Amino acid sequence: MTDHVGLGTVRERIARAERDAGRPVGSVGLIAVSKTFDADAIRPVIAAGQRVFGENRVQEAKAKWPMLKAAAPDLELHLIGPLQSNKAGDAVALFDAIHTIDRDRIARAIVKEIERQGRSPRLLVQVNTGAEPQKAGVLPKDTDAFIDRCRSEFGLTIDGLMCIPPIDEPAGPHFALLAKIAERLGLNSLSMGMSADFVDAIALGATDVRIGSAIFGERKKPAPQG
């Protein structure tokens, strides 16, 4: 195992946040968000001992992760970006957890692929806590009914909830809302908190934080056209 400065710093900050929140050190899972980074950038983080990674796009993950997982079979891969129903087969085959179940069509497609493949990733429902029209996720007022359908109509086991707060609002109230919904529904997993706000998320009950830039550095912006 080798050292990795960004990963080591993030782990220290998570441990400090756990202690400050009165939670056991090691109780919060770290998802290293590797979207847009190639295999060469990911390997040093794997070598430093990180085993759980997050990707936003099924196609991007499909291009780089089978090779990485073949070399390190204990890796765990989470889909944290929006899922299209026509990608459900690839998602169930490749990912160990899917954080973005948010509508009936996706739920039905996931059920079909779980039955077909005999593989059951952990499933979380994405909640659009800010009711942002451009963002995926179930509205808070519709979450109870949607999860009831997932359980009773579709036969899915929902493990928890995920949210991405609006970038122009304090994240804390959104994390608190997600925790309240999860408690009401008897859900154990809370996927919330990213590089800029994971300390607040841990204080409010996050079980998994999704951190990319603090580990990998800033993502390259696309080159301007023309």
What pLDDT shows up at residue 29? 98
Collapsed DSSP state (helix, strand, coil) of residue 128: coil
Closest to 76 (Cα-Cα) out of 95, 63, 99: 95
Q: What is the pLDDT along the chain (226 residues), one digit of tens a residue?
A: 666 879 999 999 999 999 999 999 999 999 999 999 999 999 999 999 999 999 999 999 999 999 999 999 999 999 999 999 999 999 999 999 999 999 999 999 999 999 999 999 999 999 999 999 999 999 999 999 999 999 999 999 999 999 999 999 999 999 999 999 999 999 999 999 999 999 999 999 999 999 999 999 887 665 454 4
Which token pair is 202? 């841990």
Other CB atoms within a 10 A radius of the CB of residue 69 amount to 16
Whole-prediction pTM: 0.94
What pLDDT shows up at residue 221? 60
Instruction: Give the helix/strand (H/E) hosting 9.
Output: helix 5-20
Q: CA end-to-end span of the chain, whole Å?
A: 44
